Amino acid sequence: MELNIIWFVLLTVLFGGYVVLDGFDLGVGMIHLGLKSDLERRTSLNAIGPVWDANEVWLITAGGALFAAFPDVYATVFSGFYTAFMLFLLVIIGRAISIEFRGKVESDKWKKTWDFIFCLSSYLIVLLLGVSLGNIITGIPIYQDKEYAGTFFTLLNPYAVMTGITAVLLIRMHGKIFLAVKTEGEIQQRVAKGINSSLILFVIAYIFHGAWTIILYPGVIKNFVAFPVWFILPAFIILSIIVIPGFINSQLYFRAFVASCTIIAFCIAIAAIDIYPNLVISNPNPENSLTIFNASSSQKTLMTMLIIACIGLPLMFIYKIFVYRIFRGKVKLDNMSY
């Protein structure tokens, strides 16, 4: 397998890992304001407290890998999406501050302020990422010199916004399932009751988004037509959607969480297959597209980075397993809690 393809797969894994893991943190943030009491909101914060910052390591690693392996893509995307990324940076900082400061104030007014920022920033992070993904799938205007030819508002096209809304609904459901896994008693029962309705909303949006994609952008499924074996991915997504209500009704919340993770991971995989071998599609001039071949670093750089990744990624996986093992089980509040 060529190094360019290996790095494309690694980037997909890294971005997918971020969405799956930080996704439940963001999903918990989305439903945070819907929790009734201060005790319940503290419980939700402590459900993600030990892991939320570590989960963001996946995003940092993915960004570093993109810079090292495909510098032209990094330059085009980060310069073209500059306003969007600055907004993303602002809300991700706001989310971090709200999590840390909320438990350090006694004023109910300030607690409500941090609760609002936590919830709003969680929604905006997912929406912005979804809008970015929508633009990556359909393409953006790029000059021959690999410069972005649009504006911030070019990114806010209807399809990209619909992708963002679909992502929000999926991650919101993901967060509810995770909170059901980590809690017990009244809060667990109330959160669990809302999972099936969240699933229905996501399914409606997913079907609409999928139909929109196939009808208006039929070229994105060319790799599925060429290699029908990839249709197993949407089949697994459908299967996961079908089994979640049964798991919820049987109070098998962890199994439902695994199914939710499967949906997210395979959605990311499908998006990667849709655009391959492109990384940034140029629309309406496909000849200007940035691919894994014309936008990559040298083969020597790719090999050097692969060696580093082979050392660093297993350590990151081991660390993640260790953290999740240490903090497994239901949330218990104490004096050190948020």
Each residue of 248-305: pLDDT tens digit?
999 999 999 999 999 999 999 999 999 999 999 998 888 999 999 999 999 999 999 9
Residue 201 within a domain: yes
- Mean pLDDT computed over 160-169: 97
Q: Which domain holds residue 10?
A: 3-326
Nearest-angstrom CA–CA distance, 278 and 274: 9
- Mean pLDDT computed over 41-62: 91
Nearest-angstrom CA–CA distance, 101 and 14: 29
pLDDT tens-digit series, residues 73-101: 999 888 888 888 899 999 999 999 999 89
The answer for residues whose C-beta is within 8 angstroms of residue 202's C-beta and 6 or more apart is: 166, 169, 170, 172, 173
The domain tally of the chain equals 1
Provide the pairing of β-strand 278-280 with 290-291. Answer: antiparallel
The answer to whether 140 and 281 have CB atoms below 8 angstroms apart is yes
Residue 219 within a domain: yes
Question: What are the angstrom distances between the C-alpha of 89 and each of 74, 86, 219?
Answer: 16, 5, 32
Residue 116 within a domain: yes
Residue 333 within a domain: no
For residue 336, pLDDT beyond 90: no
Residue 122 within a domain: yes
Residue 338 within a domain: no
Residue 331 within a domain: no
Residue 335 within a domain: no
